Structure 1
């Protein structure tokens, strides 16, 4: 795949789907650099997150190297407490507003989010901003690695504390998130029913089938009844080099992956809004990659099961399907 340069904006449009009132879902490094040169009301957030069993730490890596003037967004800190102890749940409206104020973000600020994987945790952060109505938000396609490949500068150390701003308490778009109760009720519907939502599972196929273990000790693998496996990595392309990183595939590639997972007819129903779709994963993080890909296709009815598999499988009453 040839990635578009700033001088090839007609190519970049293949990767975006937005209204005139919204920022594009994706920006490329040279586009972000030009935006920073041109506009003052832009905030860049590093939303890097690692799996609980990883030795790496997002905050430490931010301090070692980040995009100039970026700030670190800790998705586990900007979150609502959960009775099961789950991390990075959608924050309350007040918590989101307070976080925006601490970053110096105003209602009309263009927020650009990246991570050090390329594309991994940044879509989850974008999902959060969009769910609270902050449509002037984007992710950096390819993240920090692609930024460096383009020869753009980085800095290290603590970020400068911005002047705090006022951010009016927003309203959560409740159609963007699903609860455990909603997911259980949906699983009881005939999947061919008009009322049944399509549930797409972003975990690896082995975890979905129940043949591979979950990374969280003691948690059963398997899947929600009637859900469909669509591993998040099929929406991404890996670029090898001194640093391996991912970018979002073209919308044509995303459409083909969706067709293979659910069938062309159902894919069309999702894209044109006849069918609602819910994305899920291990903890609600990589479900954001599927959410983003579907939004790039223009699908209007896309929700995310915030607890995802961890919250579902922790409950002893949950029905777990294993295909061995």
Structure 2
């Protein structure tokens, strides 16, 4: 019989790439992870890992087992959800991960509604970059989280996750000076997000498509601060529509040739869990989630 906890470690190794990373995720020692994976190999009766010095890669059998293990883990999520649904209504902790502009505009009203409908739920919100949400969900540090992609930076999500659409919005260049095309700002100072974030990558891709690399002057992740810097003449920046509800005086928006999509993600099999289902039920209908260029022009 294959041990489920060891299967989870194997899936984490496939996702994270190193035994050290798996150990850090689970607060184990690398030696303990190696011992558990060796025990899993004995249970499977075949080699699952290839070891070359300090490097470890999955064998063909290891990759096959990971694929089936994802199905097993999803089935366990569905089982836990069914057990929770068979008891009382939504209760206990619901750990939610979201980026700042979504917390203030989309998530706060949903939390109020959720608290009124299900007072037994203990809602816990963590500010987190969308790029870090998949790992936090798979590591069970979050129960639901907001993930994103842009037309210019499409994402391939982990097979251990499911998601539903939440928002589709336009993206703009915020500035204060003249310019009717993105290339007009090739020599401007830019306010960029932190390298490694999705927003930073999307900005680089958009500018690259226009034939230049942005000259970064400031690195800021909070869009409210970004717009304040733009209004102060400190540079231009890429901002999504969600962040422009209170546009500072003097800041203008130039539509860019991309859109940003936000989805609510959760572990595969967890959609029917009472707490997760309750959270999803508070989201607006699809027709209310689209922020179009026509609305931006108002």
Q: Place the TM-score, normalised by the shorter chain, in its bin.
A: under 0.3
- Which structure's residues are more often helix, by fraction? 2
- Which structure's residues are more often strand, by fraction? 2
Q: Could you state the TM-score of these two structures normalised by the residue count of structure 1?
A: 0.23
Q: Which has the higher contact order (CA 8 A, sep 6+)?
A: 2
Q: Could you state the TM-score of these two structures normalised by the residue count of structure 2?
A: 0.24
Larger Rg: 2
